[in-house]
Amino acid sequence: MTAPLPTLLFGARGAERQTDHRVLGDRMNQIYPGVNAYDPIGCPSEFSSRMNFVQLTAMRVVAVAMSPSYVDRSSTTNATLKIPLTGEFDSFLDGRTHQCGAGAGGMYFPQGSGQVKGHGGTCSQVSLQFEPRVLQATARAMLGVPVNAALALNLESPRVVPLAVAGKPLSAVLQHVGSLIDLYERDAEALTQLGIQDLLYRHIAMMLLPDAASPSADMPRTTASAALIAQLCDYMRANLESGLTLTDLEKFSGLSARGLQMAFKKHAGCSPMQWLTAQKLHAIRSKLLHADASESVTSLAGPYFPNLGDFARYYRHQFGELPSQTLSGKHH
């Protein structure tokens, strides 16, 4: 009889369950090309695993829970950050053993790294397979540095990374992300529009470049003129349905993460994302007030807000009534 496994971060309903380690090895090789073996530690009949994943536009997020296992990989096709939620594991790579665990750190595997051997006890893990070019662009946008500026991300070196960002546990962020993945039933388009992928890239950048999380980090552009903010606001108004993220705003403005927040606080009295949400709400209200009988709240608000429940709550807070009341009042 197999022992119970830890909870998956997301996708428990509909997760792939395997009790044959050879089948798991074949399945994992489809997701992580280069897997030679996933072998049980202990009695093979007691081996068990559960797995689910979501494929975003530029990242794959894989949740796995398994009994004690040994893995042998010939290569790492994608840059990968392996994050333990429970349990511990060791990875032997480039002549060194890297010890990881929920209280010790996660493991970064560079794209194209060589043979990896590892083993661990019963665990629950999340793997983020990401694109280095997207990570570099995100980090530059966060820091407000030129496109050709050098960044000390050190993407060629495998290493253990801390499981905290700006002093806060990464596990709390991942629990939030996991809940959203479940809420939207692994709908990649909705999750990307909500900025989940951007959120994960920003956290990876801050984990691999710790100075990015420091308020005293060197950020070349931390001031902005009223004219620049006006241009940024025009850009946001023209792209209300595009699912803009903070990284998009940083790229457009050339401001660092801190500089962007400070500039909006000074010129608009709120954060850039709060301002963007308010503009979306006003745009939808205008459409509701001018809607014909064939249009609905869903058809009008859907392009702006993937989650209509959140939208209704924001709308009522902003205007003191539900969007359906605005629409029905107009038709009366």
Q: What is the pLDDT of residues 144-172, one digit of tens each?
A: 877 777 788 889 999 999 998 888 899 99
- Of 175 and 253, more confident: 175
Q: What is the pLDDT of residue 180?
A: 94
Q: Above 90 in pLDDT, residue 87? A: yes
What is the residue whose two structure tokens read 């909006």? 264
- Of 308 and 146, more confident: 308
Cα 69 to Cα 90: distance, rounded to the nearest angstrom: 11
Look up residue 108 and give its amino acid. Answer: Y
Length of the chain equals: 332
Element containing residue 228 per DSSP (H, E): helix 226-238
Q: What number is the average pLDDT over the span 126-130?
A: 96
DSSP 113: B
> Are residues 113 and 93 in contact, defined by beta-carbon separation less than 8 angstroms?
yes
Cα 291 to Cα 328: distance, rounded to the nearest angstrom: 10
Q: What angle do CA 219, 261, 193 make, to 5 degrees?
A: 105
Q: What is the pLDDT of residue 219?
A: 40
Q: What is the pLDDT of residue 330?
A: 60
Sign of the C-alpha dihedral computed for residues 137, 142, 144 and 145 taken in this order: negative
Contacts of 63 (CB under 8 A, 6+ apart): 8, 9, 10, 11, 15, 51, 52, 53, 124, 125, 126, 178
To 10 degrees, what angle do helices 196-208 and 170-183 make?
Answer: 160
Contacts of 186 (CB under 8 A, 6+ apart): 10, 11, 52, 54
Confidence of residue 29 (pLDDT cuts 50, 70, 90): confident
DSSP 154: -
Q: What is the pLDDT of residue 173?
A: 94
* N-to-C CA span, the chain: 65
Portion of the chain with pLDDT greater than 90, in percent? 53
Confidence of residue 224 (pLDDT cuts 50, 70, 90): low
Q: Above 90 in pLDDT, residue 110? A: yes
Closest CA to 40 of 52, 27, 26, 22: 22
Q: What is the pLDDT of residue 221?
A: 46
Computed over every residue of the chain, the mean pLDDT equals 87
